[in-house]
């Protein structure tokens, strides 16, 4: 019985992966062959392609993020320039190249602040915090998470709040400050429970 369940789960995974591959192949085909696409449509496709390649093909993620970046720069689309910097930052985090990732996340942050885009500003703070956390630089990570948190709370971004609170709790636990760790962990838990309720 366990073998049957395992085989069924594996088959579902393969089907899902195949569908995602077909979807991204289709988008790449449209991007390469449809000469009537506007720049905005191309930028949107580059963005969607990057989202599909995130975590499973970093080489292609970087390739399409750079292509998208070139077009965004040509079109002077600051929002998309920031967004493709985020994609590149993500790719380099997954590759463990933190200095390059930091450069891209900082550009993403600067553009978000310039555009007064609070949600992306908070996400950029969180991304930079994640780099520092991966490098075990707790104080720096905490600084960025504490910048992100009030913005996320103001915007009522519950899921991002819960993740950020959990990261802050993890940092305090690593610093042996168990009271603060518990405080933030409990806040994260409350939000996570609220998210479960229909």
CB crowding 105-123: b at 16 or more within 10 Å, else e: bebbbebbeeeebeebbbb
pLDDT of residue 21: 59
Residue among 126, 131, 141, 135 nearest 171 (CA): 141
φ, ψ at 73 (rounded to 5°): -65, -45
φ, ψ at 55 (rounded to 5°): 75, -15
Which band of pLDDT confidence, cut at 50, 70 and 90, is reported for residue 8?
Answer: very low
Sign of CA dihedral 113, 118, 119, 121: positive
Of 5-9, 131-135, 138-142, 157-161, least confident by mean pLDDT is 5-9
pLDDT single digits (tens) 153-184: 999 999 999 999 999 999 999 999 999 999 99
Decide: 147 and 168 in contact? Cβ < 8 Å.
Answer: no
What is the mean predicted confidence (pLDDT) over 89-114?
A: 97
- Cα 27 to Cα 80: distance, rounded to the nearest angstrom: 18
pLDDT of residue 195: 78
* pLDDT of 1 over the 70 cut: no
Considering the entire predicted model, what is its pTM? 0.84
* pLDDT of 10 over the 50 cut: no
pLDDT single digits (tens) 23-32: 888 888 887 8
Which band of pLDDT confidence, cut at 50, 70 and 90, is reported for residue 13?
Answer: very low
Residues 6+ apart with CB under 8 A from 118: 112, 151, 154, 155
- Cα 58 to Cα 66: distance, rounded to the nearest angstrom: 12
């Amino acid at each position: 019985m366990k073998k049957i369940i395992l085989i069924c789960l594996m088959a579902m995974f393969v089907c899902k992966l195949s569908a995602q591959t077909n979807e991204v192949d289709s988008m790449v085909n449209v991007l390469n062959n449809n000469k009537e696409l506007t720049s905005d449509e191309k930028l949107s496709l580059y963005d969607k392609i990057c989202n599909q390649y995130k975590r499973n093909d970093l080489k292609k993620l970087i390739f399409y993020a750079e292509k998208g970046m070139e077009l965004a720069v040509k079109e002077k689309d600051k929002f998309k320039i920031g967004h493709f910097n985020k994609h590149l930052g993500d790719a380099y985090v997954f590759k463990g190249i933190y200095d390059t990732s930091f450069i891209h996340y900082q550009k993403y942050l600067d553009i978000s602040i310039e555009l007064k885009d609070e949600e992306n500003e908070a996400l950029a703070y969180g991304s930079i915090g994640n780099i520092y956390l991966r490098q075990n630089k707790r104080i720096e990570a905490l600084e960025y998470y504490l910048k992100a948190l009030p913005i996320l709370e103001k915007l009522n971004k519950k899921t991002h709040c819960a993740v950020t609170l959990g990261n802050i709790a993890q940092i305090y636990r690593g610093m042996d400050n168990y009271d603060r760790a518990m405080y933030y962990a409990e806040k994260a838990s409350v939000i996570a429970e609220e998210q479960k309720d229909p």
